[in-house]
Structure 1
Amino acid sequence: MTSASDDRAPRITRRRFTGLAGLTALAAAGCGGGGEGGGTGEGGPAALRFAWWGNADRAADTQRAIEAFQAANPGTTVAGEWADFTGYFDRLATNVAANDAPDVITLGGAYPREYGDRGALLDLSEVADALPLDRIDRAALSNGEFSGVQYGVPTGVNTYCVVVNPVLFEQAGLALPDDGTWTWEDFERIAGELSTASPEGTYGAVDPTTADALDLFSRQRGEGLYTPDGGLAISAATLEEWWTTTLRMSRAGATPPASLTTELLADAAPEQTLMGRGLAAMMLGWSNTLPALRAASAQPLQLLRAPGESAGQPGMWLQASQLYSISSRTEHPEEAARLVDFLVNTPEAGRIVKADRGIPTNPDVLEAVLPEFDDDQRAQAEFIARVTPVVGDALVIGPVGSTETRGVVERLNADVLFGQSAPAAAAGSFLDQVGAAIGA
């Protein structure tokens, strides 16, 4: 699911609730983009390919949306292609390199900028008549704009926040924190108190270190991970402060030991996470992970603002859960644009997809689907509505090479937690490795 969110692709996000291994087609059609012909050209039949990542439920819903689009657009057929997150982007990279990219491509995080800078994505101003963007939330729309060019349209919006299990708080005799005032010091203290008052094997918090968490933490300090011109913005002092805190939490038992934290990276399925297993009271993550985590844990999980939001400038942001982009090599740009328009701007598609790809950013679509939301989807929508007035500025999306950041963070975090690298040394290594990856 994925945000990340990210680029940067956190292990359990809007981008990675999958559990699938294969790539499959959902409808038979020819190759519409960059390769052998997919139709007779403008005004004639068009065969499009539409690629996304996700699980079987998402695939079924997306196929229903495809069928609705085809019914409304006779003469245009759409073949769906999907995979888990890693398999999806590996396949996409191969297809783009072979000039065989799908016509409509789902992206996230830094990928739109990377592919856009390499000329692989269509400037959406070229298809503005078929894809109007005036009803899309501007903050979310900025996630797909780079160097003044709109390369992607948000599928929906979510935010990075804290998922909490109120049952574990109650069992530990603790009240939920006030997310309008709490600090990172409060987060550390509360995590420790929860662990102390909980059975062995249950933790106050999951280790919070991800690229997205570092972005949030550094934004609260006026930095962020990247500068608008493609450099590094986060400081060594901020990185050292972060890892000093998380190392202290791990050693105190407020978060899991290093061995368990690194072991959990191998399987991001919600039912395998500590939160999904009911073994952690707090976890930083994306707001649209709530339904899958609630289902896995069978607990009434809730969403809170991140710690530290009221202490300085806000670090939370609204982010496109995913982005729909169009291949620059498509033979059918108008038809591809109409498919994207149908997916993001029509209540008909909204009622099918609902909140699976984030909370709709077109207010007309949101108004139409809100009565059909279940409790989990409504909780997400209410949380987004509550934090929208107080989130920070739009995120600076990483430059080309920044998709390496997630792996760098995971490796260095393991080194810190296992005592193989001091926080200050890890901070320096982060700046060196990520700087080299993005050419800073």
Structure 2
Amino acid sequence: MAAAAALLLALTASGCGSSAAPGTEETDGQVELRFSWWGNSDRAELTQRAIDTFEDAHPNITVKPEFADFNGYFDRLATTVAGGDAPDVITLGGAYPREYGDRGALMDLTEVSGELDLGKLPESALANGNFSGIQYGVPTGNNTYALLINPRVFEEAGVPLPDEDTWSWEDYAETAEAISAKSPDGVFGTADPTSMEALDVYAWQNGESVYSEDGGMNIEAETLADWWDMTAELRASGAAPDAALSAELDGLAGPEQSLMGRGLSGMEFAWSNQYAAYQSASGDPLQLIRPPGESHAQPGVWLQASQIYSIYSQTEHPKEAAALIDFLINDPEAAKIIGTDRGIPSNPDVLEAIQPELTEAQQVESQFVGRMGEYANRPLIIGPVGSTNTLQILERVNSGVLFEQITPEEAGKQFIDEVSAAIGAK
């Protein structure tokens, strides 16, 4: 991710920050579009099926897929953008739409409104791709952060399932410890819960957030220290894997490689749209529940675009790129193929049309997101420019805590100092 951040700074020098207009002429002959995304082989297979359907309806357009696992995707994308050779349709997430958009690498989608109809998408969904008053991206679908649980692991350990409406973080830790203590070696109550999303949930429950609305930081070092105190206790009690295994798992890409995906943990945090992949990998019927602490303070979960589709500002085929995105978000045939892999469709008509087509797992995801939408009304705070470095900083600081190279108190201060420097916060 460091390479991605460094290369992103080269955008202006490479011409992406220029005012040159992209090609807008009609193309009479064959057009090739490059379409990039991240994900595993299952996502690639679904996406290719949708591409094939699009190509059947647009015989003059060929779509060339470009995908990678999450860990390598953004470094590759930054390289192509800095070199002036980015894909025509780009999948983004997190703070990347703002970073790339503010540096001139993304098209204002109002320029292709004739080919891309956003009228059915609610404002709350479109806000995920709107920065500085410009619509740089379109949400692939809605998503929320959740806790996955494996009832089989609970049952075999003789541990009751948690009550999501009442449980606390203390209950979470005690439940994880009980599962590990009553399970065979190699089966854990939980994986290490540290992630940007889990931290933001925890911070919001405490009246804070990782970032502030004005582009600074809004989380206290003491809150971070409390978090890392908890995770250290999880490892010490055996509720979570030791440092070596946790570090190894952190570097793995897909759900099939996780403890949950291998049926070796009772609980693991994940995005709701990963539910089907985790269940398929584990072979067990899993459940999605609210994170701990949601009933003891203000709710920390939120609805967010799973991913964002954007168009490269220098594309030679803006209308065709817009037509592809329009197909992906507005066509029921595309939605029937992709299902909930990229979140619950934001277009309500499309969601209604595909309900009968959804698998049991996809219906679980849809119902969970709908249930979370009833109260998860906290504002979405997008990270400021420079915040794409935060994940790497978190991984480095968390590694220091894992291997007891720094204390939780030192970790809290280090995280705030390094992120503040990355985003230019005072």
TM-score over 0.5 (shorter chain): yes
CA distance in 2, matches of 1:40, 1:329: 10
Matched, 1:392 2:392: no
- The answer to whether the 8 Å contact 1:143/1:394 transfers is no
Deviation of the 1:49 alpha carbon? 1.8
Structure 2 residue corresponding to 1:340, chosen from 318, 325, 335 = 325
> Sequence identity of aligned pairs in percent?
56
Structure 2 residue corresponding to 1:204, chosen from 186, 189, 207 = 189
Deviation of the 1:211 alpha carbon? 1.2
Matched, 1:240 2:225: yes
- The answer to whether the 8 Å contact 1:195/1:202 transfers is yes
Residues 63-109 of structure 1: CA deviation (Å, up to 9, x unaligned): 23223223333433322222222333222111111111111111111
Query: Judging changes above 3 Å, is the alpha-carbon distance between structure 1 residues 260 and 295 closer, same or farther for their aligned structure 2 residues?
Result: same
Deviation of the 1:42 alpha carbon? 2.2
- The answer to whether the 8 Å contact 1:190/1:204 transfers is yes
Q: Secondary structure at the match of 1:178?
A: coil
Matched, 1:419 2:404: yes
CA distance in 2, matches of 1:235, 1:345: 42
Number of the residue aligned with 1:81:
66
Structure 2 residue corresponding to 1:149, chosen from 127, 131, 134 = 134
Query: Judging changes above 3 Å, is the alpha-carbon distance between structure 1 residues 305 and 425 closer, same or farther for their aligned structure 2 residues?
Result: same
Once the two structures are overlaid, the 10-residue window that deviates more, 423-432 or 164-173, is 164-173
Query: Judging changes above 3 Å, is the alpha-carbon distance between structure 1 residues 331 and 268 closer, same or farther for their aligned structure 2 residues?
Result: closer
CA distance in 2, matches of 1:98, 1:199: 52
Structure 2 residue corresponding to 1:96, chosen from 54, 71, 81 = 81
Number of the residue aligned with 1:310:
295
Matched, 1:401 2:375: no
Deviation of the 1:301 alpha carbon? 0.9
Is there any run of 5+ residues in structure 2 with no aligned partner, and where? 5-17
Number of the residue aligned with 1:14:
none
Deviation of the 1:213 alpha carbon? 0.9
Query: Judging changes above 3 Å, is the alpha-carbon distance between structure 1 residues 148 and 262 closer, same or farther for their aligned structure 2 residues?
Result: same
Name the aligned partner's letter for residue 41 of structure 1: E
Name the aligned partner's letter for residue 116 of structure 1: G
CA distance in 1, matches of 2:401, 2:39: 32
Structure 2 residue corresponding to 1:175, chosen from 156, 160, 163 = 160
Residues 376-398 of structure 1: CA deviation (Å, up to 9, x unaligned): 11111111111111113232111
Name the aligned partner's letter for residue 166 of structure 1: P
Residues 334-360 of structure 1: CA deviation (Å, up to 9, x unaligned): 222121111101111111211121111
Structure 1 residue corresponding to 2:41, chosen from 53, 56, 69 = 56
Deviation of the 1:327 alpha carbon? 0.9
| TM-score, structure 1 as length reference | 0.88
Matched, 1:293 2:294: no
Matched, 1:184 2:169: yes
- The answer to whether the 8 Å contact 1:315/1:392 transfers is no
Matched, 1:354 2:339: yes
Q: Secondary structure at the match of 1:163?
A: strand
Structure 1 residue corresponding to 2:234, chosen from 249, 253, 256 = 249
Name the aligned partner's letter for residue 81 of structure 1: E
Q: Secondary structure at the match of 2:214?
A: coil
Name the aligned partner's letter for residue 243 of structure 2: A
Deviation of the 1:401 alpha carbon? 1.6
Deviation of the 1:114 alpha carbon? 1.0
Query: Judging changes above 3 Å, is the alpha-carbon distance between structure 1 residues 73 and 272 closer, same or farther for their aligned structure 2 residues?
Result: closer
- The answer to whether the 8 Å contact 1:39/1:47 transfers is no
Residues 274-293 of structure 1: CA deviation (Å, up to 9, x unaligned): 11121110111111221221
- The answer to whether the 8 Å contact 2:23/2:314 transfers is no
- The answer to whether the 8 Å contact 2:24/2:319 transfers is no
- The answer to whether the 8 Å contact 1:110/1:399 transfers is yes
Q: Secondary structure at the match of 1:425?
A: helix
Matched, 1:436 2:418: no
Once the two structures are overlaid, the 10-residue window that deviates more, 389-398 or 56-65, is 56-65
Structure 1 residue corresponding to 2:144, chosen from 139, 147, 159 = 159
Once the two structures are overlaid, the 10-residue window that deviates more, 334-343 or 70-79, is 70-79
Is there any run of 5+ residues in structure 1 with no aligned partner, and where? 1-5, 10-33
Once the two structures are overlaid, the 10-residue window that deviates more, 256-265 or 301-310, is 256-265
Deviation of the 1:439 alpha carbon? 1.3
Once the two structures are overlaid, the 10-residue window that deviates more, 336-345 or 136-145, is 136-145
Q: Secondary structure at the match of 1:44?
A: coil
Residues 121-164 of structure 1: CA deviation (Å, up to 9, x unaligned): 01112222322222124333222122222211111121111000
Provide the alpha-carbon RMSD of the alignment.
2.2
Query: Judging changes above 3 Å, is the alpha-carbon distance between structure 1 residues 390 and 364 closer, same or farther for their aligned structure 2 residues?
Result: same
Q: Secondary structure at the match of 1:281?
A: strand
Q: Secondary structure at the match of 1:187?
A: helix
Number of the residue aligned with 1:134:
119
CA distance in 1, matches of 2:175, 2:159: 9
Structure 1 residue corresponding to 2:367, chosen from 379, 382, 391 = 382
State the aligned residue count: 407
Structure 1's consecutive aligned runs of 4 or more residues displaced over 6 angstroms after TM superposition are none
- The answer to whether the 8 Å contact 2:157/2:183 transfers is yes
Structure 2 residue corresponding to 1:42, chosen from 26, 32, 35 = 26
Number of the residue aligned with 2:12:
none
Deviation of the 1:405 alpha carbon? 1.2
| TM-score, structure 2 as length reference | 0.90
Deviation of the 1:40 alpha carbon? 8.9
Q: Secondary structure at the match of 2:160?
A: coil
CA distance in 2, matches of 1:75, 1:200: 57
Matched, 1:227 2:212: yes
Query: Judging changes above 3 Å, is the alpha-carbon distance between structure 1 residues 252 and 56 closer, same or farther for their aligned structure 2 residues?
Result: closer
Name the aligned partner's letter for residue 273 of structure 1: S
